[in-house]
Amino acid sequence: MKHTLKPSQYAVLIAIMLTASVGDSLLSRGMEQVGHVDLHHLGLLWHALFNPFVDAGIVLLIGFFACYTTALSWADLTFVMPATAFGYVVIALLGRFWLHEQLSLSRWGGIALIVCAVGFVAGGPARTEHPQLDQMDAGAGL
Amino acid sequence: MLSSQTINIWGSILFVAALAVAGEVLIAAGMKQLGDLDDIRAHSGLLGAIRAVLTNAFFVVGALCMALNFFAMLFALSIADLSLAAPAIASLTYIGNAIAAKLFLRERVDHRRWLATAFVAIGVLLLAH
């Protein structure tokens, strides 16, 4: 099949799932240490830049954006979307197995739904083919 | 009757979601226009690929929408509860993305992808509880 993903492309999708979720967790951990920021205390945002958790979070989120942009260059937005949602599952599972938080039944339900969504989309093509355009490409190649 | 506070909260939630959809669809449109970044990198190196992305008009406007979305989100969270606003925005963004991808990006959103979108939207809401 023409639109089968290469191993490096699967790696990009997995990086999207991990960088967004871990980056967000690091940012929120760091901002808890920095304290509440509101419009009257914007100076705290400057302090936040010196927090290692915030810095690590920013680096991971820049990485996420690079991976996301790369994925959109060879896959449909509706194909990449469930991968970004899988980040929420990673956060929930990190909470369960790393921080030993209890997950409620509804949260397990949410995890199951997102896992199913990834399965539905992964079974189909990554990119919409437009037969007319493909014919034009083929014609141009002759 | 809806109270003005309810209208404000849902108005800001819809606004943040709309900005996110606009940003993601514009970035996707830009990347579709550029084509496979791996090919561009093989041809003109990593810097060439970065330059190609950063000089794409769709990408730049999309990234601006995402930046605005970030600040609009901070505002929305200041008037609405995190437990309502964050999952509602995420959920609406996924549904809006699927509709906009079909309308503007001409992606073939078949029943598998609609089902996946619905599952993701509901799943995100459930995970927030």
pLDDT at A39: 67
In chain A, which among 58-87 make CB contacts under 8 A with chain B? 69-70, 72-74, 76-79, 81-82, 85
Find the helix or strand (DSSP H, E) in which A123 lies. Answer: none
B38 touches chain A (CB under 8 A): yes
Size of interface A-B (CB pairs under 8 A): 116
The residue type of A102 is Q
pLDDT (0 to 100) of residue A112: 95
- Express each pLDDT in A25-57 by its tens digit: 888 888 888 877 676 777 777 888 889 999 999
pLDDT score, position A142 = 40
Q: What is the pLDDT of residues B17-27, one digit of tens each?
A: 999 999 999 99
Q: What is the pLDDT of residue B105?
A: 93
Give pLDDT, residue A1: 40
**Size of chain A, expressed as the number of residues it contains:** 142
Asked if B96 and B61 touch (Cβ cutoff 8 Å), the reply is: no
Q: Which residues contact A31 (CB under 8 A, 6 or more apart)?
A: A37, A48, A51, A54
Closest to A111 measured CA to CA, from B129, B113, B98: B129
- Distance, in angstroms, between B6 CA and closest chain A CA? 22
pLDDT attached to residue A25: 85
For range B60-89, the mean pLDDT: 88
ipTM: 0.88
With beta carbons less than 8 A apart as the criterion, state whether A50 and A58 touch.
no
More confident residue, A129 or B98: B98
- The single residue listed with the structure tokens 């970035």 is B27
Q: Which residue of B has its CA nearest to A123?
A: B112
